[in-house]
Structure 1
Amino acid sequence: MTRPCRSALYIPAANARAMEKARDLPADAIIFDLEDAVAPAEKEAARALLEAALKADYGRRLKILRINALETEWGQGDAALATRLPVDAVLLPKVGGPADLDALAGLVEAPFWAMIETPAGVLNAAAIAAHPRLEGMVMGTNDLAKELGARFRPDRLPMIAALGACLLAARAEGRVILDGVYNAFRDEEGLRAEAEQGRDMGFDGKTLIHPSQLSVANAVFAPTEAELDLARRQIAAFEAAEAEGRGVAVLDGRIVENLHVAAARRSLARAKAIEEAGF
């Protein structure tokens, strides 16, 4: 991952004011949504609004366009629009297998992201993650819960197997993967708990439905000062051990090996990328 993806905010493409305000929001990524957030009667107008909005500068924010599924009456038109827009990636909903991405490959040149929100998508996550045009995956936990018949639990126990399978697939191929949304946007404590769970599992960041959720996601998915201090000391201790001809160091009573140093360097690189983002 060359840039942070702590927070990815869905913005309805039918809402010109929201797209304008997004240019100043502390979001690592903006997902301009032509799918669920836009009513059928507004689909055509939303395309025109989005095309106008993307003439403006969104800074270092990753610009992702979520189109409608290709088999819908709007999918082909959305894909055609994507070829004209300065977006960083196209997010395809309800990806069930690599064939869905193959169908998109002939229509757009931008990199792909895949929404994993069906049982088929979870079961085929490894093949989806291996697609050569894919850069990232997004968990669509609301649709997935509906498909599974799962009940809501704060610990997300019914979803853990699916989340873990997709995380493994993404990591095996070096893809970015974002956790699903937290629906109760006024519940900051609940959002923080779920974001921390996703962070601890290994997700790169969280998708969000409201600007008020940005500060929590940005804080949770960023290395803490204590973590950065430990990372620097681990690197220093290991380099000192290497200089003495040893392959293992001891710091604070714990072994430090190559794998710990690699993780430490990733944390420092992540912190630098966040600093460069400016928020």
Structure 2
Amino acid sequence: MNATPSPATPGTATANPATAASTGQPAGVHLIREVPALEINGVSWNAGRQRIVHDVSFSVKTGELLGLIGPNGSGKSSLMRVIAGIYHPSQGSVHLQGHNLKSLRRRQIAQVMAMVSQTADTLDAISARDAVELGRTPWLSALQSWSEHDDQLVQEALRAVQMHEKQDRQWGQMSGGERQRIHIARALCQQPQILLMDEPTNHLDIHQQLALMDLVHSLPITKVLAIHDLNQAMRCDRLAVMYNGRLHAIGTPQQVLTQELMRDIFQVQADELTDPADGARVLRFRSLPGQAAA
């Protein structure tokens, strides 16, 4: 029997009697502490001899939508790959629902967490449906073969990204946007509790971008989203700002997206406006005074 606990087990911790007494609880009463969905503890990552991610620490609460933002080259994609277990940290650790990622098998991780990469490709000789079916792989085994339930999940995922009418299209015949939507469907078909998405709106037209973000917000799971569109980022519960491979700031959009940060990190002047239709905050960007045009 494998001694490693399943990461799908709800993370709780109990207090000893001394701890209970110190908090005013009767001895024998167990206090339940919610374990974060993800904990990134002092993570650094090197590409060869070059350090790309420097000593990053933060946690993601269960059910939270965390946006990861920062200029190009700030280390967002590398950090996402470390969190997903694709890259191994040079220092520090990633904990998935209380368990060190390096102690878990790939199958265990894949049953809890799915990743949609910024650029992902696959073989030309498969259909859109075939690609989505790959999302069921972590759940299949010699004792658990393909079932009608798997077929249903595939169709639901295809419909969620509006690709159900193109499911027979071959990979080589699809546009970049269609391929991206299929990769998202594959991740949804995996039925993750945690969804990591690295620039998921890449290659999508504006209609599909809005539809995807609405879909992401509707999912009752934990989501970490690396994104460039700061107006979309404002819809996140919290934002983590990466700059030069380091975590520069973390907090709510209101706390993080200040004029000072926009000027110092993104090199733009940002004015906050209010959409009269729904009262939503909207950012309007301008070049800094005296900034030369590229």
* More contact order relative to length (CA 8 Å, sep ≥ 6): 2
TM-score, shorter chain, exceeding 0.5: no
TM-score category by the smaller chain?
0.3 to 0.5
Greater share of helix residues, 1 or 2? 1
Greater share of strand residues, 1 or 2? 2
What is the TM-score normalised by the length of structure 1?
A: 0.35
